Amino acid sequence: DHSNGSFNLKALSGGSGYKFGVLAKIVNYMKTRHQRGDTHPLTLEEILDETQHLDIGLKQKQWLMSEALVNNPKIEVVDGKYAFKPKYNLKDKKALLRLLDKHDQRGLGGILLEDIEEGLPNAQKAIKALGDQIIFVNRPDKKKILFYNDKSCQFTVDEEFQKLWRSIPVDSMDEEKIEEYLKRQGISSMQETGPKKIAPIQRRKKPASQKKRRFKTHNDHLAGVLKDYSDVVPGKQ
């Protein structure tokens, strides 16, 4: 029902749409419980009970156990049970700070806030507790990135050096040259934390219309002398 945002799985009559609807609901539930701190794995029966899907058929259960949950990138199997598998599995605010510090030291840049929220239980509370140890940066696509605030890099630069820095023109350096330089230095943050560029569609150029060639006639002096036989039927004289 698009009017209220609800999704009725019962309306999908047991086909592939129903199966994948159940799978999506399970993965979303496992993510939600992980975010609130319930990170211990569950059996399939426990998952179906908590998502109110105990009435699904034997074939659907077998599909979930042998294919869907096992091959899902967001689910991991632990001793026959199932748990949510975030991109960054973080236990607390200290683990988050260590991860950001590690990324900073390796020149990997920051980490998307949505990836942190996915893997850190009670993420907003932990982020608020870290305070100014973290820096937020908004990308052009409005997604937020977290950076480690390395306070050892905070120092006063002499005004004379600041003027020299600002006086250097960079108009000749386009984005491709900057990215090429960063690659040589082993820095990949621009590509990995920035929005992906969509290559423009290459349209095929229409071939230029060929001009009709004009052939010069050399029998102008015989005009009116030669007879036209185009109307004569073959075999008749």
Q: Spell out the domain ranges in the chain.
A: 16-84, 93-148
The model's pLDDT over 26-46, given as tens digits with 9 standing for 90+, comes to 999 999 999 888 889 999 999
**Separation of alpha carbons 19 and 57, rounded Å:** 10
**Separation of alpha carbons 9 and 60, rounded Å:** 13
pTM of the model: 0.56
Q: Does pLDDT of 94 surpass 80?
A: yes
The model's pLDDT over 35-75, given as tens digits with 9 standing for 90+, comes to 888 889 999 999 999 999 888 888 999 999 989 999 999 99
Tokens 């683990």 map to which residue?
95
Residue 140 · residue 93 · CB < 8 Å? no
Spatial CA neighbour of 139 closest among 197, 194, 189:
194
Q: Which amino acid is at 113?
A: L
Q: Hey, which residues does 82 pair with through a beta bridge?
A: 42, 77
User: Mean pLDDT lowest for which of 5-14, 84-93, 138-147, 219-228?
Assistant: 5-14
Q: Does pLDDT of 216 surpass 80?
A: no
Q: What's the CATH architecture for 16-84? A: Orthogonal Bundle (1.10)
